[in-house]
Amino acid sequence: MFALKGRKAARVRAPLEAADLDGQRVLPRPLRRVVRFLVSLGTGRIHFAPHTGTVSALAFLAATGFYGMSLGGHSQDFAQTTTTAAGFAIEDVKVSGNEQTSEIDILQQLGLDGATSLVALDINVARKLISEMPWVEDVAVRKVYPGTIEVSLKERKAFGIWQHGTDLSLIEASGSVIAPLRDNKFADLPLFVGRDAETAAAEFYERFSQWPEIAKRVKAYVRVAGRRWDLMLNNGITIKLPEYDLDRAMQVLSTMEEGQQLLERDIAAVDLRLEDRTTIQLTPEAAARRQVVLEARTKMLKKQEQENRT
């Protein structure tokens, strides 16, 4: 009973501590603690450990320095230098899944020079930089402490070569350009020529695979006016295909090749664009020889006609 009354009385008296009891203002509780600390500090009742002032000054200077580096944009450089000195320099880059992308290309893309810190390396920035490389479709980057980066690549697949003007580029089946063609390593890929040829290439090439005996003779697939294709054969003959009904045209060509070895003859072009006729164009040399034969035949017929009259 008395304990309860005592606590109740204390709660009632608490507000009176800050009241004006003797006509003088009493400081609020937080300020009184500060004043008591300052009085104790001034009278020497509070003692600090040795070197506390030195440590505090150094901490203040360090904090000031870090703040200044942060404002000046040099905090990353500082972290780079300190962590490299501590033994976290990148010493090895392990790359997997790469066929066309070399490790040297990746080192140059990331700007690694042997003094780059693994701790300071930003994984997201590294992944973004590598993903911008021509052959990279997807990439994963992982830190392995103390000094190794693991890079796992998924590369794009080259489907064909696209010639636009005088430029040659490697393309995917979707038509997306991968990179300029630099060497003969991809010489076996099909060549597609002309505007819009890269986007229509895969679909046409898949359909044309039904005629492998003719497909193996093709040197280039030429897109004409964004509507149809010409075939440039490796012996110089041009096959002009229609915009529609490719199956009919190829069946005509296959039949003529099987029965008459048309593509072995001295011709320049075979025009299959019209459904009711096939036009064959001779080479200039063959046309000249044919003209000589026709003229000789005409002379012979005229001579026979004159002999019959006499």
Which residues form the domain of 164?
158-287
Return the structure tokens found at 265. Answer: 């003859």
Q: What angle do CA 301, 302, 306 make, to 5 degrees?
A: 120
Q: Which residue has the tokens 């942060």?
A: 70
Residue 126 belongs to some domain of the structure: yes
If one counts the domains in the chain, the total is 2
Residues 226 and 271 in one domain: yes
Task: Examine the domain organization and report whether 199 and 165 are in the same domain.
Answer: yes
CA–CA gap between residue 223 and residue 112 (Å, rounded): 44
For residue 244, pLDDT beyond 80: yes
Residue 95 predicted with pLDDT over 60: yes
Among the residue ranges 11-20, 103-112, 199-208, the one predicted with the least confidence is 11-20
Alpha-carbon span 99 to 161, nearest angstrom: 18
Show which of 118, 136, 155 is a domain's final residue.
155
CATH number for the domain spanning 145: value is: 3.10.20.310
Tell me the CATH number at 166. 3.40.50.11690
Could you tell me the pTM of the whole model?
Answer: 0.66
Q: Can you state the percent helix, strand and coil of the chain, rounding each to 5? A: 45, 20, 30
Question: Do 182 and 212 lie in a common domain?
Answer: yes
Using pLDDT thresholds of 50, 70 and 90, give the confidence band for residue 298: confident
pLDDT at 113: 74
Rounded percentage of the chain residues whose pLDDT exceeds 70: 68
- Helix, strand or coil for residue 262? helix
Asked if residue 176 is part of any domain, the answer here is: yes
Determine the Cα–Cα distance for residues 255 and 136; give it in Å rounded to an integer. Answer: 45
Mark whether 101 and 182 lie in a shared domain: no
Domain identity same for 120 and 236:
no
Q: In what order do the strands lie in the sheet with 191-193?
A: 177-180, 167-171, 160-164, 191-193, 218-224, 228-233, 238-240, 267-271, 279-282
